[in-house]
Amino acid sequence: MKTAPFEYSRPATLDEACALLAADPDSRLIAGGQTLVPMMAMRLARPSRLIDIQRIPELRGIREDGDVVVIGAATRQMETERSALVTSKLPLLAAAIVWVGHAPTRARGTVGGSIANADPAAEIPLVLATLGGHVVVKEGGTRRDVSMPDLVLGPMTTSVPAAGCIVEARFPVWKDKRVGVGFHEVSARKSDFAYVSAAAQVALDETGRCTRLAIGIGGATPVPTRLDSVESALEGQILTAEKVRAALVAATADIEIMRDSHASDAYRRRVAVGLGQRAIMDAAANSKGGPA
């Protein structure tokens, strides 16, 4: 199929882009277009106007800002994958981003686009939620920080206002001396949408005890879900497969799990425990010198 007719604008500034959004409630932002363009081709999306934000300088780039790494919303996923700063400071994102689609889609897709799309199976929002990061949203002349629990309301649904734009994502950096990460997902084929994914980051002290832990589950849940109770149960412990599994079983017992034609909720719950255990144990095994 072909897309329905639409207007096209390429604003030079973020203020201009926000003004165009405010003037036309049926307009849509486009940067990489890896999700929006196929939806338009199938007539599942019919924006009256596409507002191309890819070349706005304010939305591009990767930089360190204190205890966070800031990634502009229009930064290509491939740029993030190849960034030395991301590799050294955000090892969990570096481990996860190679699972995002295929190399050609990562060459066009953007970090902000993945977050704004709010697909439950998406890897980048899962990492941001697991690390306790947030995004900066601009609407008109106002900017505000929005945490992931407040941003992602459900599958493909966010709290970003119709005239608003995600400007950047801010990923916390762990300064601990020994940090390890683990990331696993299950899908029908490599680079397909994940049925279940798990992201973990662990810090250990010199005796091998867990001093800090973050674990998040994606794909199985309507929104990327950080399992805080697992973190509190395992901190201060020597991590063993038995302890980790018990904490994950307890944490996932009552959370909402999705089911569809691809996988039942019982399957996803069971796999979430298994992948979470593998991710945490991998992180502990890989724990070594933290970010420089």
At residue 289, the pLDDT reads 54
Domain final residue pick, 172, 207, 242: 172
Q: For residue 95, what are its two tokens?
A: 């481990």
Evaluate if pTM is beyond 0.85.
yes
Domain final residue pick, 172, 188, 205: 172
The domain containing residue 15 runs over which residues? 8-52
Chain position carrying tokens 């034609």: 261
C-alpha torsion sign, points 143, 147, 153, 158: positive
Domain final residue pick, 141, 172, 203: 172
pLDDT average, residue stretch 153-177? 95
Do 120 and 95 belong together in one domain?
yes
Residue 292 has pLDDT above 90, yes or no: no
pLDDT digits (tens, 9 = 90+) for 68-108: 999 999 999 999 999 999 999 999 999 999 999 999 999 99
CATH number for the domain spanning 111: value is: 3.30.465.10
pLDDT exceeding 70 applies to what percent of the chain? 98
pLDDT average, residue stretch 117-132? 97
Of 224, 204, 253, 257, which is closest to residue 115 (Cα–Cα)? 224
Do 61 and 161 belong together in one domain?
yes
Q: Is 230 helix (H, G, I), strand (E, B) or coil?
A: helix
Structural domains of the chain, count = 3
Q: How far is CA 195 from CA 54, 236, 238, in A?
A: 30, 31, 30
Do 207 and 284 belong together in one domain?
yes
CATH number for the domain spanning 48: value is: 3.30.43.10
Do 48 and 61 belong together in one domain?
no
Q: What's the chain's average pLDDT?
A: 94
Do 106 and 157 belong together in one domain?
yes
